[in-house]
Structure 1
Amino acid sequence: MSTPIGGATRGLWIEPSEVHKAAAAARKVAHDIPEDVKALFTPTDTAVAGLVGFQSAQAIDDCLEAWTKALRSLAGMVGGAADAVSGSGKSLTDEDQERRKAFRGPYAPGSSPAPGLYGRY
């Protein structure tokens, strides 16, 4: 997403396209987590059914429920992070476009000053 800038600045150069890719990847993970959790239901139900009468059956079921809640919460947090990263990428792109427009001002090559910019002359 960023590369070091050489010289005395020692700053970073942000690549907006990479920021957008990171947001898309996080969004995909957030979407995939709940679907992946569903894959645990059948084997867990099978294990619980095979342990009828044992206290471990309820413990396994409770464990699945706790992990399901935790993973759904994680999916929400990752989705929120995806939104934040996407928003920062959009802000970066918007600001870059605004700076570009600013350089096209009245002094840019090929442009003429706005009427009245220098008074009557």
Structure 2
Amino acid sequence: MSTPIGGGTQGFWIEPGEVRKAGDAAHKVAQDMPENIKALFAPTDAAVAGLAGFQSAQAIDDCLEAWTKALRSLAGMVGGAADAVSNSSKSFTREDQERRNSFLGLNPYTPGSPGPYAPGLTTPPLANGGR
């Protein structure tokens, strides 16, 4: 996801495409988790049925319910983290584009220019610092 900067510069480069890939992978994990939870139902139901009349049957069923709840919660947290990573990738890409346009002298307030603002939007000079 990052590459050390050589020479006299300290820090690292962030590759937005790699960050996006990490976000996509986390989204896949979050989506797969609920399906993987379903694989626990059949063996647990068989164990509960085989232990009918024993207190351990209810304990096993309660344990499955607790695991299911915990794994669904974890899937939600992983999904939230995936969203944050994906949004970071978009922010890095947008920042790179804005800096590129700045170096090229492109004014993001000019209608039709690539930039963070809607094409065709006219901003009064006083509202944008006179640009």
Q: TM-score, normalised by structure 1?
A: 0.84
Q: Deviation at 1:90?
A: 0.1
> 1:65 — aligned with what?
65
Letter in 2 for 1:97: Q
Aligned CA-pair RMSD? 1.1
Q: Alignment identity in percent?
A: 78
Q: Deviation at 1:13?
A: 1.0
How do 1:1-121 and structure 2 match up within 5 A?
A: 1-105=1-105
Q: Distance in 1 between matches of 2:85 and 2:104?
A: 29
Q: Deviation at 1:4?
A: 1.4
Q: Deviation at 1:103?
A: 1.2
Q: Deviation at 1:10?
A: 3.1
Q: TM-score, normalised by structure 2?
A: 0.78
> 1:109 — aligned with what?
none
Q: Deviation at 1:85?
A: 0.3
Q: Deviation at 1:31?
A: 0.2
Q: Distance in 2 between matches of 1:2 and 1:104?
A: 25
Q: Which has the higher contact order (CA 8 A, sep 6+)?
A: 1
Q: Deviations over 1:5-54 (max 9, x none)?
A: 12343311111110000000000000000000001001100000000011
Q: Deviations over 1:81-105 (max 9, x none)?
A: 0000000100000010011111111
Q: Distance in 2 between matches of 1:29 and 1:69?
A: 17
Letter in 2 for 1:4: P
